[in-house]
Structure 1
């Protein structure tokens, strides 16, 4: 289990300047399915191959069960990104594969609806998750993997302070093919705190 007591009672919500991050609920299905469907060609090159029922209510319900199980076991937390003013769903970010013991490590993954890409929202979301991971969950290291020709993701991670550590050969099966990935990492004591966060 996560060794932060309040997390065992209620999933957290993170609030930033433009975004609110919270765990998804069944009430989010329609907005999620619509955004994912309209962004399909934008997302598919970077994700595992979509199932035939990818956007169905049943598949979404199963997804929520997995998210809740991972949260309860302390191995992951999934957030949806919402515009703080309009409450519009814009994307998602997960902190997964949390390992305790001698590792104290977790992995970040994310997706953004196509019409919201390029506005700096995901960079803000990553910068919200970083202090949550290091300060609230008390992790020591965050990792992220991205396909080398995914320029958006490479730029995002580097702007967020992640350092490229190497190339993982044939690392993940993406859209039906085994793809190489860059491994990026951020270690707690090497984190650069943005000026806006320092101001509090």
Structure 2
């Protein structure tokens, strides 16, 4: 899957992206850890990134999760990841949205473009009904991006995710397929 917008494109990651993925994770390690659960040191090894990509390919084949890289159109540089996880079929037809962007690329609209591409993919190719996203209340940039892309704040989940050893509150944002709302 490859989807293109004005400045970026998103596509499924392959083993060929492992080194770029590792570089992204290493260069943004302390930045990403403000918003995501701690990962073990062995996560920051090329072999682990290859495993991560292969696991995501398997989950995609099983319709459980879809992980994509965010790449710049101009240079093909990997600047982030965006994924749909916890895919549920049947009466739910939903998934959880997760994303990270290279700190140096923030504020340029790339994540807004990427989320719009993934929303389109989720609703019109995967035929999902609902996408949810969790965000820490102090992550104003992420909240703004979700609101710009049509997500609505549905409330506060208290002590939802353990980040850096602390249970953190998260807002639950969601968007419903426009043809089914």
TM-score (norm 2): 0.94
State which drifts further: 166-175 or 116-125.
166-175
Q: 1:46: which partner in 2? A: 35
Gaps of 5+ in 2: none
- Which structure 2 residues correspond to residues 49-88 of structure 1 after superposition, within 5 A? 49-88=38-77
1:118 matched to 2:138: no
1:91 matched to 2:80: yes
Gaps of 5+ in 1: 1-11, 192-200
* Aligned-partner Cα distance in 2 for 1:105–1:132: 13
* Aligned-partner Cα distance in 2 for 1:84–1:159: 22
Deviation at 1:190, TM superposition (A): 7.2
State which drifts further: 29-38 or 78-87.
29-38
TM-score (norm 1): 0.86
Larger radius of gyration: 1
What SS class does the counterpart of residue 42 from structure 2 fall into?
Answer: coil
Instruction: Give every structure 1 segment of 4 or more consecutive aligned residues whose post-TM-superposition deviation is greater than 4 Å.
Output: none
* Aligned-partner Cα distance in 2 for 1:148–1:190: 30
| Residues 163, 186 of structure 1: 8 Å contact kept | yes
* Aligned-partner Cα distance in 1 for 2:120–2:21: 26
- Deviation per CA, 1:26-58, whole angstroms, max 9, x where unpaired? 221222222222222221110110211122012
- Which structure 2 residues correspond to residues 12-31 of structure 1 after superposition, within 5 A? 12-31=1-20
